[in-house]
């Protein structure tokens, strides 16, 4: 293996007789050089963005809570001190916690805060008998079996996984909801760690 100096290149002859040329010198980059530099920079930025999202947990955890009606957990659960299960009624009897029906909202809002814009939208939905398309923020993959009912029956609090929603105006995902996060709790509490307990 030998190396010889050219004008702008270092020529390296490899063991197998191949010749490698390494760019050497202070010559300015030509147009194609800038082009490839730009492409590399773009690809790098994209990779960085994806990586950052991934490191924050699932890609959608950073998603803003943009609901069709500006609902606030901070107000309902914080100031009014409503119990989570008052609205999310199926949490203690079924796998899904459920979103309250319009009827439940109307139970209070029929005669309350009707002048507010959000409540007017709510009442419009009720009058037209059209459900509100709430944006779902907490979602598990299709291959995961999870049941709220069993977790509540074993004494877990809603806030353990969903965070202190009474202090949040929106409802961002409080935990990653990833497998490592599930397992850390299952390990601590001596719950089943068999794959088929949660994978279906």
Partner 1 sequence: MSADQEKTPEARPHRWQMVIDLDRCTGCEACVVACHAENNIRISGAQEAAEGRAINWIRIERYWEGEYPDVKAKFMPVLCQQCADAPCEPVCPVYASYHTPEGLNAQVYNRCIGVRYCGNNCPYTARQFNWFDPHWDPPLQEQLNPDVTVRQNGIMEKCTFCVQRIRQGKEQAEREGRPVRDGDITPACVQSCPTTALVFGDGNDPASQVAQMSKSRRGFHLLESLGTHPAITYLKRLDE
Q: Is 141 in the site for partner 1 (CB under 8 A)?
A: yes
Buried b (16+ CB within 10 A) or exposed e, 137-175: beeeeeeeeeebeebbeeeeebeebbbebbebebbbbbe
Residue from 5, 15, 143, 180 touching partner 1 (CB under 8 A): that is: 143
Q: How far is the CB of 98 from partner 1 (least distance, A)?
A: 15
Helix or strand or coil: residue 127?
helix
Q: Is 153 in the site for partner 1 (CB under 8 A)?
A: yes
**Contact in structure between 25 and 35 (CB atoms under 8 Å):** no
Q: Is 196 in the site for partner 1 (CB under 8 A)?
A: yes
The pattern of x and - marking residues 84 through 123 that bind partner 1 according to CB under 8 A reads ----------------------------------------
Q: Is 195 in the site for partner 1 (CB under 8 A)?
A: yes
Going across the sheet that includes 2-5, the strands are: 2-5, 9-13, 19-23
Give the whole-angstrom CA distance, residue 29 versus residue 175.
47
Residue from 103, 142, 155, 180 touching partner 1 (CB under 8 A): that is: 142
The pattern of x and - marking residues 9 through 48 that bind partner 1 according to CB under 8 A reads ----------------------------------------
Phi/psi of residue 23, nearest 5 degrees: -65, 135
Give me the residues paired with residue 12 across strands. Answer: 3, 20
Smaller CB distance to partner 1: residue 80 or 144?
Answer: 144
Q: Quick count: other Cβ atoms within 10 Å of Cβ 64?
A: 9
Residues that bind partner 1 (CB under 8 A): 141-143, 145, 147, 150, 153, 194-197, 199-200
């Amino acid at each position: 293996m030998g190396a010889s100096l050219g004008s702008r290149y270092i020529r390296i002859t490899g063991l197998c007789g191949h010749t490698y040329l390494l760019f050497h010198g202070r010559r300015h980059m030509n147009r194609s050089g800038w082009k490839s530099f730009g492409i590399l920079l773009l690809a790098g930025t994209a990779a960085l963005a994806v990586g950052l999202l991934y490191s924050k947990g699932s890609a959608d955890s950073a998603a803003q809570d943009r609901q069709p009606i500006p609902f606030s957990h901070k107000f309902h659960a914080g100031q009014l001190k409503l119990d989570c299960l008052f609205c999310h009624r199926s949490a203690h009897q079924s796998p899904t916690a459920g979103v309250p029906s319009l009827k439940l909202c109307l139970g209070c809002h029929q005669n309350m805060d009707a002048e507010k814009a959000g409540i007017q939208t709510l009442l419009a939905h009720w009058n037209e008998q059209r459900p509100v398309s709430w944006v779902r923020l907490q979602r598990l993959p299709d291959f995961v079996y999870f049941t709220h009912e069993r977790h509540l029956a074993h004494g877990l609090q809603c806030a353990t996984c969903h965070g202190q929603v009474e202090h949040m105006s929106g409802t961002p995902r409080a935990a990653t909801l990833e497998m490592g996060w599930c397992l850390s709790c299952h390990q601590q509490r001596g719950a089943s760690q068999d794959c088929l307990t949660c994978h279906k």
